[in-house]
């Protein structure tokens, strides 16, 4: 199904006066649905204990209507429980705990940094004293830090003075996992942007520069990309984090292959994939559209080399239809007069000033009828998404501001940007392919 941004424009007002008894009833009803399913299927019952499942035991979303209902029930329980918790705490107590959120992050940071989970035996326990000797941190301090972490269900104290695993702390043992990279990147690098937010806003209240961000304030004036260039280990870890994020269904290439009518391009048309990395996106489009040709452009020679090699090895029959060129998309587009220019998952990383530059650099290459296909996030205004999705979207939006001075864009933001770049850019459609987080914005260059 294809939704337009307008479809979702009029959302419900936030529920500011939920009733405790109604929330409790919702929780009870949906919890029963979940419990019945788990028990009827003989699945491991969710628990915090070390032998508990790492994820809530439901099949992946989207497979059957029954599974969809189960996922909806889970969301209901999560959302109603959060409302119940917040309402019962009351505003004053809620605020006191909210501002202490840094205690949660910093204790996980210690556990990650000192590899504490690796020193706690997988089964059984270890005393604070022995652990203290192993990692050279005072036993008293360890006790303070870990007993706080235990309130988040990370480790437990099965007998006084001894630490054992829970399902959460066990997840902190595997250094090869994407979760390990995610926690390292967030606790050691990204979380520093928290205390840097106010100084950054004081110093650069209106900046759109990459080295005037909360990230740069926290990292010796280095912009995000500059920092990653100079710290290859961090860049590698960030890459693993991104793979965790991009391996999710919502960022797969398939929805762009089927969600845009590539058949409307002329027979034998050329598509320029701007910032196309290895060309993995174009490859999938090429497989489904045998007449199209592709030029993959990227600033990173290693990605282009890798893409070329992969293509020759895995799809020798497609080599003829592909070209790889190094190009900086901030500078004038060298491939003139192609039929379509694809800009996928690029622009959301850049503040408006640079989106202008990227798009304006394309204009001299356009002819009348050229298609500009942008695939990116289109976020809704407030009060459209269910609360949990809303929080995810707002968190990502905040993070890209902190790292890149960028922002996720609503449909109106995109339309304004395109109009500012060139009035000859006509927006034909803004659609969201099914099962995709990325939308497809189709534009035509009209120069008659
Ligand atoms: C988030 S990735 C997107 C890759 C791909 N388009 C996709 O859909 O997943 C951003 C890409 O932009 C490239 N890039 C960053 N700055 C660039 C620049 N100035 N010129 C060209 N490519 C650039 C990066 O090397 C990377 O491959």
Q: Give me the interface pTM, i.e. the ipTM.
A: 0.99
Q: Is the CB of 346 under 6 A from ligand 1?
A: yes
Q: Is the CB of 406 under 6 A from ligand 1?
A: no
Residue nearest to atom 25 of ligand 1 (CA): 300
Residue nearest to atom 26 of ligand 1 (CA): 277
pLDDT band at 1 (very low <50, low <70, confident <90, very high): very low
Q: Is the CB of 328 under 6 A from ligand 1?
A: yes
pLDDT band at 2 (very low <50, low <70, confident <90, very high): very low
- Least Cα distance to 438 among 253, 242, 245 occurs for 253
pLDDT of 3 above 60: no
Choosing from 109, 112, 219, 348, the catalytic residue is 348
The per-residue pLDDT for range 277-316, each reduced to its tens digit, is 999 999 999 999 999 999 999 999 999 999 999 999 999 9
Q: Is the CB of 303 under 6 A from ligand 1?
A: yes
Pairing of strands 270-274, 3-4: unpaired
Q: Which of 235, 257, 346 to mutate to test the pocket of ligand 1 (most atoms within 8 A of CB)?
A: 346
348 catalytic, yes or no?
A: yes
pLDDT at residue 12, rounded to an integer: 67
Atom of ligand 1 nearest to the CA of 281: 8
CATH class of 100-173: mainly alpha
Q: Which of 250, 298, 358 to mutate to test the pocket of ligand 1 (most atoms within 8 A of CB)?
A: 298
Buried b (16+ CB within 10 A) or exposed e, 155-192: bbeeeeebbbbbbbbbbbbeeeebebbbbbbbbebbbe
- Residues 225, 404: Cα–Cα separation, whole Å: 9
Q: Is the CB of 276 under 6 A from ligand 1?
A: yes
Residues of the chain with CATH 1.10.10.10: 100-173
Angle at 68 between CA 66 and CA 69, to 5 degrees: 65
Q: Is the CB of 329 under 6 A from ligand 1?
A: yes
Residues of the chain with CATH 3.40.50.150: 249-445
Cβ(379)–Cβ(393) below 8 Å? yes
The per-residue pLDDT for range 328-374, each reduced to its tens digit, is 999 999 999 999 999 999 999 999 999 999 999 999 999 999 999 99
The per-residue pLDDT for range 4-59, each reduced to its tens digit, is 444 444 566 778 999 999 999 999 999 999 999 999 999 999 999 999 999 999 99
Residue nearest to atom 11 of ligand 1 (CA): 275
Cα-based distances in Å from 74 to 21, 35, 194: 19, 10, 31
Q: CATH for 249-445?
A: 3.40.50.150
């Amino acid at each position: 199904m294809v939704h337009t941004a307008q479809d979702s424009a009029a959302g419900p007002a936030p529920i500011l006066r939920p009733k405790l008894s109604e929330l409790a009833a919702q929780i009870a009803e949906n919890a029963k649905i979940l419990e019945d399913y788990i028990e009827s299927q003989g699945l491991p019952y969710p628990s915090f204990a070390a032998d508990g499942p790492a994820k809530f035991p439901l099949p992946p979303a989207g497979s059957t209507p029954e599974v969809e209902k189960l996922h909806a029930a889970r969301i209901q329980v999560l959302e109603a429980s959060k409302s119940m918790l917040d309402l019962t705490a009351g505003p004053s107590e809620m605020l006191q705990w909210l501002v202490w959120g840094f205690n949660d992050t910093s204790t996980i940071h210690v556990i990650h940094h000192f590899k504490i989970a690796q020193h706690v035996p997988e089964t059984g326990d270890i005393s604070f004293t022995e652990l203290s000797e192993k990692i050279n941190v005072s036993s008293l301090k360890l006790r303070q830090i870990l007993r706080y972490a235990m309130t988040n269900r990370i480790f437990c104290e099965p007998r006084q003075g001894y630490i054992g695993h829970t399902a959460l702390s066990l997840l902190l043992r595997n250094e090869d996992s994407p979760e390990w990279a995610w926690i390292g990147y967030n606790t050691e690098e990204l979380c520093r942007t928290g205390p840097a937010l106010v100084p950054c806003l004081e110093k650069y209240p209106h900046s759109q520069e990459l080295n005037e961000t909360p990230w740069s304030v926290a990292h010796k004036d280095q912009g995000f990309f500059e920092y990653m260039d100079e710290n290859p280990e961090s860049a590698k870890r960030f890459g693993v984090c991104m793979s965790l994020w991009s391996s999710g269904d919502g960022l797969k290439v398939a929805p762009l292959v089927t969600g845009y009518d590539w058949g409307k391009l002329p027979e034998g048309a050329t598509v320029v994939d701007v910032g196309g990395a290895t060309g993995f996106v174009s490859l999938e489009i090429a497989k489904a559209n045998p007449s199209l040709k592709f030029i993959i452009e990227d600033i990173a020679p290693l990605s282009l080399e890798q893409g070329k090699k992969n293509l020759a090895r895995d799809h020798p029959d497609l080599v003829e239809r592909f070209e790889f060129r190094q190009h900086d998309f901030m500078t004038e587009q060298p491939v003139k007069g192609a039929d379509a220019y694809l800009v996928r998952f690029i622009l959301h990383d850049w503040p408006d000033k640079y989106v202008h530059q990227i798009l304006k650099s394309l204009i001299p290459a356009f002819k009348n009828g050229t298609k500009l296909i942008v695939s990116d996030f289109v976020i809704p205004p407030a009060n459209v998404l269910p609360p949990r999705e809303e929080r995810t979207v707002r968190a990502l939006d905040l993070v890209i501001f902190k790292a890149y001075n960028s922002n996720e864009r609503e449909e109106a933001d995109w339309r304004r940007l395109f109009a500012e770049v060139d009035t000859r850019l006509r927006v034909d459609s803004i659609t969201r392919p099914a099962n995709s987080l990325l939308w497809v914005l189709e534009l035509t260059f009209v120069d008659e």
